[in-house]
Chain A
Amino acid sequence: MTAEVRILDGNTFVVSDGSGDIAASPTDTAGLFSYDTRFLSRWVLTVDGRRLSALSTDDMQYFEARFFLVPASGTVYVDAKLSVIRHRTVARGFRERLTLLNHDQNPVTLTVCIEAGSDFADLFEIKDARPKVGDYYTRTRDGRLVLGYERDTFRREVEISTSEPALVAGDSLTFEVRLEPHGEWSTELDVVPRMLRADGQPVVAVDRPVRGVERMRQDLSEWQAGAPQVGCDWKPLEATYGRSIVDLAALRFSPVIADGRSLPAAGLPWFMTMFGRDSIFTSLQALPFTPELAATTLSVLGRWQGSRVDDFRDEDPGRILHEMRYGELSAFEERPHTPYYGTADATPLYVVLLDEYERWTGDTALVGRLEGVARAALDWIDDYGDLTGRGYVSYERRNARTGLENQCWKDSWDSVSYRDGRLPGFPRATAELQGYAYDAKLRGARLARAVWGDPAWADRLEREAAALKERFNRDFWVADGGYYALALDADGSRVDALASNIGHLLWSGIVPPERAAAVAEHLLGPALFSGWGVRTLAEGEGRYNPVGYHVGTVWPFDNSIIAWGLRRYGFKEEAAQIAAGILDAAEYFDGRLPEAFGGYGRELTRYPVQYPTACSPQAWSTGAPLLLLRTMLGLEPAGEHLLVDPALPKGIGWLELRDIPGRWGRVDAFGRGRVETPRAGPGRPSAGA
C-alpha cells in the first residue's frame, strides 16, 4: 500500500492508500469509519479492469483530499492518455467526485468500476481479526448499493449512491463511459453509513444538517480567525502555533447531546471520541485560545457523570468518565465503554477545569449550573476515590477482564515501579492524583464562595486540602532523594522511583515552598531532563528505557504541565528552558508534536527520536505549544484583568499574542527573550540571543 491518506470530520474518517483505494484485510487499518465501526473495508476503483497509479495526492484540508491518477502502465516512459481525479470530502460518510479526462485525439469507451465491501468491524476488533457473530447482506435499493450487517436487533448499513446511473451488481457499481476526444466525464459517489434498529429506523433520530465542503472550509477559516494571533521573530514558533490551531479544529468532536458544539477528542483518527482526561487536559491547555472547548467538555462530561456502582464499567457515583465508544463490542457489552469510568484523575481534574474556566471567562452561569456535578465529584474524591481509607485517591479496577489496570495518565502496564524496577500491587495511589485532589478542593472552595454561596462548605474543603497537603508531604517525601515518591502501594509504602509526576505536583500547588527548589532541580537535572524535555521516568531507574512508552520517553503534554507548575513557584527560567526544548523539538516535526519522543540526551541524538504511535495529531500534544505560549508569556487571570509576566528563552527576540479572549474582553500580550537556554540543530536563531 502506498502512503496513507486520512481525512475526517468528527468521528467519521477515511483511511486510504495514495490512490484513494481502500483494500483492507481484517488486520489493516484502512477504511471508512464512523462511530467506531468500519463501514467500508473495500473501495477499489478500476478502469477497464485495471487499478490506477497515483501521480500525486493533495491533502487539501483535514476533511478533503484529491488524488490524481493514471492507468497503471508498468513503465513511467509511456504518456498516459487518460487522467482520473478523485476529490473526496468527509460528510456524514464521504462524497467523492470522480472525473475522467481523455487526452487522446480519438474517442474512447471505458468500463469504470467501483468495488465496495464492508466487514463492519468494531475498531477494537481490527488487528484481532475476530470472526463476526452476525450476518452480512447486500441489497440494491432504487439504483443504490446497500451493504449491511445485522446481529439480533443491531443493524449497520452503508448506502452508496451515484449522480450518474450505474449498473449495480453484486458489490460493484459499474459505468460504461464514452469520452470524446479531449472529453471529460464525471460522477459523484455518496457513501452514507447508518446505525439502525431491526425495523430499519435510525438508533437515534437526530436531525443534524450535513455540512458541505464549502461550509467546512468557512468553519475552519472562522476558527482560525477567532483564535488569538501570534507574532514572533522565530518563524517556526508561528508555524507551530498555526499548525496547532488547525489540528485542534480537526480534533473537535461534537457529541450528539452537545447541540452542535464541540469538545476536543483525544487523537486522530483512532481516538476521535470523548475521553475524560484527554478532553479536560486539552481544554485546559487551550483555555486562553479557544475557551468554548472547555465549556462543552464541562457540560458533556457533567451530563455523563457516574451515578451508580457498576463494576463492569468501573462506575461510581460522582466519577467522571474515562472513554465513550459506540461500536458493536460496546453495544453487546463485550467492552465496557458505554461509557467506561476507569480513571482516577478525571474527577478531580474536572473541578480544576471548572475553576480555571471561570477564572478566564467569568461564565458563572455555566459554573452555577454545574454545582451539583462539582459537589458529586468532590465527594467522590473522599469516598469512592479513597480505596484504602488512608485519605488518598487510589485505583484498582473492578472489571478485571476488560478494565484498565493503571487508571492514571501513565496507563501502560509497567509505568508505576519502585526504583529497583519491581511493580507494586493494587490499589495504587500515584502522587499526581493527590496533587489534583488537593487543587480540586481549593478550587472548589473558591467557587463555593465566589459562585455557589456556600462559605461553610468552602471552609471545610480548605481544611481538608490543608490536611491532605500535610499527610502527603509526610508520606510521599523520599527524604534521602529530595523528591516525592511516584506512588504509595497497597501497604502505604513509597513506590520510590523518580518520575516526571513531581512536576504535576508543582502545578497543583501541593508542594510547600521550601521543597519546591529541590523538585525543580530534579526536573531540570540530568536524570530527568534530556535537553528536549523532562523524561517520564528518570535515567538510572530500574525500568528506565528511553523508548519505553511511560518509562523514559518525553511527552510534550507532560512537559507543558510541568512548565506551568514551575511558573507557579516562580521558576521562570526553568519553565522557559522546558518550553525552549519542546518548541525546538516541534520544529523537527513540522510543528506537529508527536504524543511522545525518545528520552535520549539531546547531545547524543541532536534530533528528537519519534516514538512510533498510531495517532497523530494527539490532542494534548497539539495543546502543548498553546500552554507553553501561556507559560512563556506568564499569562494569569487576576479578577477582571489578565496579568502578563513574560520569561522567554533567548533566541526568541520577541513574541506577541494578540486578542486573547477572556472576562476582560480581548487583550494583547508581549514579551522579549532573555532566558539563556542551550541550542542544538536548527533550534532558535542566534539573533536576539
Chain B
Amino acid sequence: MDARTTTVQELSRRRLEPAPGGPGPTVKFVIPGPGGCSWLVRADCGQGERPPRDGPDCVVTATEPVLRALLTGRANTLAAVLRGEVAVSGDLDVLVALQRLFPGPPAGSRGGAA
C-alpha cells in the first residue's frame, strides 16, 4: 500500500510492530483539533517488561502531516520535538525507544523538516 494513501493509524501499527498483550509500552497517538482522533499502539521497543500503569506510557500529540512525516522517515523525531511540532508527555524513554522503529529518510532526500 502506498504510504501516501495509507491512514496514519495504519502506518503507525505497521511500523511499530504491535505486540498485543506483550511486554512493550503503550503509546497513545493524538491528532488534536476538529476531525482529530487518537489511538493506542503497544509497541515492541525491546525495553522488556514494564511496570503496569494506568493509561498509556507515553502520549505523542501532533498534526497528521507531522505524524505521517515521522512514520515515513521524512522528519526526525528529536528535531521535530525541539521545533515544537510534537508534544510529548509520559515516559520520554519510550519515545526515544519508539523513534528507533521509524524508518530512515527516503533515498535521495536529506532528512529535513516535515
B81 touching A308, Cβ below 8 Å: no
User: Is A313 within 8 A of B100, CB to CB?
Assistant: no
Least CB separation from A204: chain B residue: B88
Is A333 a contact of B112 with CB atoms below 8 Å?
yes
| A333-B113 contact, Cβ under 8 Å, with A203-B84, A310-B104 | yes
Q: Any chain A CB within 8 A of the CB of B48?
A: yes
Name the residue on A nearest B94 (C-beta): A257
> Are A338 and B83 also in contact (CB < 8 A) when A257-B92, A333-B112 are?
no
What separation, in Å, do the CA atoms of A458 and B103 have in the docked complex? 31
Bitwise interface map of A from 276 to 310 toward B, beta carbon under 8 Å scored 1, else 0: 00000000000000000000000000011101111
B85 within 8 A of A: yes
Asked whether B102 is an interface residue with its Cβ less than 8 Å from the other chain, the reply is yes
Scoring B residues 45 to 58 as 1 if CB is less than 8 Å from chain A, else 0, what string do you get?
A: 01010000000000
Q: From known contacts A203-B84, A312-B111, A333-B112, infer whether A256 and B92 are also in contact, taking CB-CB under 8 Å.
A: yes
Q: Verify if A322 is at the interface (C-beta below 8 Å from B).
A: no
Which of B84, B85, B100 interacts with A307 by CB under 8 Å? B100
B78 touches A338 (CB 8 A): yes
Number of interface residues of B (CB under 8 A): 28
With A201-B87, A312-B111 as contacts: A339 and B78 at CB distance below 8 Å: yes
Q: Which of B73, B79, B84 contacts A196 (CB 8 A)?
A: B84
Q: Is B93 an interface residue (CB 8 A)?
A: yes
Partner of A331, one of B82, B93, B110, B112: B82
State which residues 98-114 of B face A: CB under 8 Å.
Answer: 100-105, 110-113
Interface size class of A (residues with CB under 8 A): 35 or more
In this assembly, does B97 line the interface, its C-beta being within 8 Å of a C-beta of chain A?
yes
Which of A101-109, A151-159, A469-477, A494-502 participates in binding chain B?
A151-159
Closest B-chain residue to A326, C-beta based? Answer: B82
Bound-state CA distance A196–B85 (Å) is 10
Q: B83 and A303: CB pair below 8 A?
A: no
Given contacts A308-B102, A330-B82, A333-B76, contact A303 B93 (CB under 8 A): yes
Residues of B within 8 A of A206 (CB): 92
Distance in angstroms from B33 CB to nearest chain A CB is 12
Q: Kindly state the separation between the CA atoms of A339 and B113 in the bound complex, as whole angstroms.
A: 15
- Cβ A333 vs Cβ B111 within 8 A: yes
Instruction: Tell me whether B3 is interfacial, beta carbon within 8 Å.
Output: no
**Inside 8 A of B83's CB, which chain A residues have their CB?**
152-154, 331-332
**In the complex, which residue of chain B has the Cβ closest to the Cβ of A257?**
B93
B38 within 8 A of A: no
A residues within 8 A CB of B96?
A: 257, 303-304
Whether A309 touches B104, Cβ cut-off 8 Å, given contacts A154-B84, A195-B82, A333-B79, is yes
Complex contacts, B111 vs chain A, CB 8 Å: 310-313, 333, 336
Q: Report how far A565 CA is from B86 CA in the complex, Å.
A: 47
Kindly list chain A residues whose C-beta atoms are within 8 Å of the C-beta of B112.
Answer: 312, 333
Among A514-551, those with CB < 8 Å from B are: none
A197 and B84 form a contact (CB under 8 A): yes
16 inter-chain pairs at a CB distance below 8 angstroms, sorted by A residue, are A152-B83, A153-B83, A197-B84, A197-B87, A203-B81, A204-B92, A205-B88, A259-B93, A303-B96, A308-B100, A308-B103, A326-B82, A330-B79, A331-B82, A332-B83, A338-B79
Q: Interface of B with A (CB < 8 Å)?
A: 46, 48, 73, 76, 78-79, 81-85, 87-89, 92-93, 96-97, 100-105, 110-113
- 14 more A-B residue pairs beyond the given contacts A309-B104, A336-B111, with a C-beta to C-beta distance below 8 A: A154-B82, A155-B84, A203-B87, A205-B89, A257-B92, A257-B93, A310-B76, A311-B111, A330-B82, A333-B79, A333-B112, A333-B113, A338-B76, A369-B48
Instruction: Give 7 closest A-B pairs by Cβ, nearest first.
Output: A308-B104, A197-B84, A331-B82, A307-B100, A153-B84, A312-B111, A338-B78
A residues adjacent to B (C-beta < 8 A): 152-155, 195-198, 201, 203-206, 256-257, 259, 303-305, 307-313, 315, 326, 330-333, 336, 338-339, 369, 372
